Amino acid sequence: MYLKPPNSSLNKTTLKSLKISYFLHQSFNFYHILSRFSTSSLANISDSQPTSLSTSLYTFLPHTQNPNNIVNIICSNFKILKKRPNFSVLENDIKVLENDLKGVISHLGTQEITRVLLRCQSDSYTALCFFNWVRNDLCISPNVHNYCVLVHILVWSKNFSKAMALLLEVIELSRSVSGGSDVFKVLVLSTNECSWEPVVFEMLVKAYVKKGMVREGFSVFRRMVRFGLVPSVVTVNCLLTGLSKFNYVDRCWYLFEEMGRIGVRANCFTFNILTHVLCKGEDVNKVNKFLDEMEEKGFIPDVVTYNTLIDSYCKKRRLKEAIYLFNIMYRRGVLPDLVTYTALVNGYCKDMNMREAHKLFHRMIQEGLCPDVTSYNTLICGYCREGMMHEARTLLRDMIGNGVLPDNFCCWILVKGYEKQDRLLSALNLLVELQRFNVLIPKDIYNYLIVALCKDNRALAAKNLLDRMSTDGHETTEKIFNEIVNCLYQLEMQKVNP
């Protein structure tokens, strides 16, 4: 008896089933090979699109293991999390999400990040949570384009503080990318994908200024103008301040001219910044001419304007012009403030006219202004420079009595004032007095006085000061210790060989 061979139709069906099984088996093997050879570091995932062959094979995989579904899986999971009170994402939720994505997480690249972000345009908080999850939990580094898309989403949602923080980050990222990356260009290109507000480009200018990259900020301003975007006066003032800080005088005036051309109306802050720019130069006539032009445009100088001019005149030893402006302030109803008086006191001190400086200081107090540490330091420094240590010490006591503790600069100028008069013991008494008022003596002052005492052959005084220094919690250096040892040795040698 023998088995009857299968009929032809059954044989074809069986063969077809075997082929499908084999094909599916090969598909799964191919998928695992792809996963095995994917980069071990999720921070460096290729942005290249999958080939048509691999894409067709993905259709045979389960839903949660199909890389084509990664965006849908992420969005659906975050949609569930969003329904919770306060949208609280717990550590367990992160583990669940990562478990759902285990089969496809290696395929999460920058293009998929952008797609998820674009789906979250109407919910900036969800977009930000997803972005932070990607870079913090998955350790995937978003690219400049990802940052720019999220910045647009945040700005559109009026979340300006978070957007500014991300702009500062993306500026750093663009500098680290090989060959650099044009953040402005990427922001412009991103406008084709999502909703956006023109203010985002003004924020980019401010971000560059915050980073100290004022030339890049200036470049963004010029490109904005070419694109037909008109920045606000606040943004222009921010850029002007940055340019002034780095002494880009020509660009400041170019910016001022551009304001008039594109229709940005200057305000009092603009004129005060430009007054400060002019005061850095030596041409007083330019300053006066500019002030006349400002008044013709309806600008009335305020206390900041006068303070800028008075401080500039005092630093350049043009005390007469400063006093003249001080008197003009009263005539025009602009009351001087603490900055005004401090600048003039400094001017008198530099002119070695301590009597007028003292009178002006007390006039300031009579006007109801409370001197701060800078005001006191200015007059104390003037006294010390002129060798008037008794007056400086008296003012120090008044300063402490009024609740203003001396800072490191104040301590330094007093100690050097005494050292200049060879009154080291008076300097030591000063330190003792300051410590009674809980003033922390800087380590550098201790070292300075120890060396000075050793040079004056006061080894015991230097050793006592070293002990006091240790009590204050300062550690000595080998150099200072050797200074005291050498001084003690010299004293012993003098006793042996008088």
pLDDT at 23 over 70: no
Work out the average pLDDT over 221-232: 94
pLDDT for res 254: 94
Q: Where exactly are the structural domains of the chain?
A: 443-498
pLDDT for res 200: 97
- For residue 458, what are the CA distances in angstroms to 355, 424, 431, 465, 483? 37, 10, 17, 11, 11
Residues 6+ apart with CB under 8 A from 212: 242
Q: Is 417 or 472 the better-scoring residue by pLDDT? A: 417
Put simply, whether the predicted model's pTM sits higher than 0.85 gets the answer no
67 confidence band (pLDDT: 50, 70, 90):
low
Q: Give the position of tokens 């290109």.
A: 189
Of 412, 419, 466, the residue nearest 439 (C-alpha): 412
* Cα 492 to Cα 498: distance, rounded to the nearest angstrom: 10
pLDDT at 354 over 80: yes
Q: Is 43 or 274 the better-scoring residue by pLDDT? A: 274
pLDDT at 63 over 70: no
Q: Give the position of tokens 């005001």.
A: 375
26 confidence band (pLDDT: 50, 70, 90):
very low
4 Rama class: left (phi>0) / alpha (psi -120 to 50) / beta: beta
Q: Is 347 or 295 the better-scoring residue by pLDDT? A: 347
Work out the average pLDDT over 447-461: 87
pLDDT at 18 over 60: no
